[in-house]
């Protein structure tokens, strides 16, 4: 199978096109191929498949073999891939996702190459049981959560996949590796959770670090950036449009009052192509 190694702000994937459906044993393949020592290395596999509802369908398999419902960085990579490889000549396309339905994408193109991608990420889900959590709040704000003797407070948001956003004094230097995995599997979260640790520095800027469900620490998370902006607005900490600073770079996130949709704008890059045997 031919793949293209791509990344969105360092959140990296092996992107495959040409299959009609997911390969057999795709979970085992993801674990093997995403291994950074014994495989190609990546945070996940992304398959661009035919869709009956949209221009393309995206399926994402995390590096631990589980499937993700949505990924903001992956959808930008898919958008760049299909245009740069001549699979579409349209600047506006639709991509079907597992957890967020069909999403609208707008491409910024210079000299025939996609530079940035703006994605309509849809409406945030704020009902606690629907995120899902075991909590009935709508929204779930400043909810105490305790693990291993330490208490945090979180806001729950789904952007097609579940997130809990926690505010800390210094997100860039926070001990992500200790607390991320403990919170990911907390009993509040029946399908586990993506965990964002955030520090608001201005009304239009938030620094954030992420522990991704099924992948661990990553350099960026598009849905996590969207969830962080929504949480920050709900908590009165930022305006409805802000830059989210991730370890791999910045994303611009907007929560539009008119349609209640969240919009994400950022880059995607192709690194190299290769072939791999099943």
Give the model confidence (pLDDT) of 222-257 as tens digits: 999 999 999 999 999 999 999 999 999 999 999 999
Residue with tokens 């600047």: 91
Q: Is 223 annotated as a binding residue?
A: yes
CB 213 within 8 A of CB 177: no
72-84 and 222-234 helices, crossing angle to 10°: 130
Give the model confidence (pLDDT) of 103-158 as tens digits: 999 999 999 999 999 999 999 999 999 999 999 999 999 999 999 999 999 999 99
Q: How far is CA 76 from CA 64, 154, 185, in A?
A: 22, 28, 28
The first and second tokens of residue 206, run together, are: 């938030």
71 in active site? yes
Give the model confidence (pLDDT) of 175-227 as tens digits: 999 999 999 999 999 999 999 999 999 999 999 999 999 999 999 999 999 99
Q: What is the pLDDT of residue 10?
A: 97
Q: What is the pLDDT of residue 218?
A: 96
The answer to whether the bond into 132 is cis (omega within 30° of 0) is yes
Q: Is 73 annotated as a binding residue?
A: yes
CB 134 within 8 A of CB 188: yes
Q: Is 85 annotated as a binding residue?
A: no
Q: Which residue of the set 71, 77, 164, 226 is catalytic? A: 71
Pairing of strands 113-120, 101-110: antiparallel
Q: Is 177 annotated as a binding residue?
A: no
Give the model confidence (pLDDT) of 52-89 as tens digits: 999 999 999 999 999 999 999 999 999 999 999 999 99
Q: Is 35 annotated as a binding residue?
A: no
What's the rounded Cα separation, in Å, for the pair 273 and 19? 16
77 in active site? no
Residue 278 pLDDT class (50, 70, 90 cuts): confident
Q: Which residue of the set 34, 77, 164, 221 is catalytic? A: 221
Q: Is 222 annotated as a binding residue?
A: yes
Strand segments, DSSP code E, in the chain are 2-8, 11-17, 44-49, 56-62, 67-68, 92-97, 101-110, 113-120, 143-147, 150-158, 162-167, 194-202, 205-212, 216-218, 241-246, 249-255, 262-266, 269-275
Q: Is 260 annotated as a binding residue?
A: no
Count CB-CB contacts under 10 A for residue 152: 18
Helix count (H) and strand count (E) of the chain?
4, 18
Q: Is the pLDDT of residue 30 over 90?
A: yes
Q: Is 11 annotated as a binding residue?
A: yes
Kindly list the structural domains of the chain, giving each domain's residue range(s) and its CATH number in brackets, ordered by start: 2-121+266-275 (3.10.310.10), 128-260 (3.10.310.10)
């Amino acid at each position: 199978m031919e793949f293209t190694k791509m990344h969105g702000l360092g959140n990296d994937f092996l992107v495959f096109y040409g299959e009609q459906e997911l390969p057999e044993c795709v979970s085992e393949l993801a674990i093997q191929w995403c291994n950074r020592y014994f495989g190609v290395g990546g945070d996940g596999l992304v398959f661009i498949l035919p869709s009956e509802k949209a221009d393309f369908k995206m399926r994402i398999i995390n590096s631990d073999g589980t499937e993700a419902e949505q990924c903001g960085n992956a959808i930008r990579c898919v958008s760049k891939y299909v245009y740069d490889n001549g699979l579409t000549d349209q600047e506006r396309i639709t991509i079907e996702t597992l957890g967020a339905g069909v999403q609208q994408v707008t491409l910024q193109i210079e000299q025939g190459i996609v530079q940035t991608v703006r994605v309509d990420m849809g409406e945030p889900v704020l009902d606690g049981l629907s995120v899902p959590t075991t909590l009935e709040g709508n929204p779930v704000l400043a909810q105490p959560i305790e693990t291993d003797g330490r208490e945090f407070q979180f806001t729950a948001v789904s952007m097609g996949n579940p997130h809990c956003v926690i505010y800390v004094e210094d997100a860039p230097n926070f001990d992500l590796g200790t607390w991320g995995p403990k919170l990911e599997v907390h009993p509040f979260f029946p399908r586990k959770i993506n965990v964002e640790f955030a520090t608001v520095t201005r009304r239009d800027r938030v620094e954030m670090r992420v522990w991704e469900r099924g992948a661990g620490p990553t350099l960026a998370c598009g849905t996590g950036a969207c969830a962080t902006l929504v949480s920050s607005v709900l908590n009165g900490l930022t305006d409805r449009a802000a830059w989210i600073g991730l370890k791999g770079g910045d994303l611009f996130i907007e929560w539009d009052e008119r349609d209640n949709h969240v919009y994400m704008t950022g880059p995607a890059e192709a690194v190299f192509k290769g072939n791999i045997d099943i």
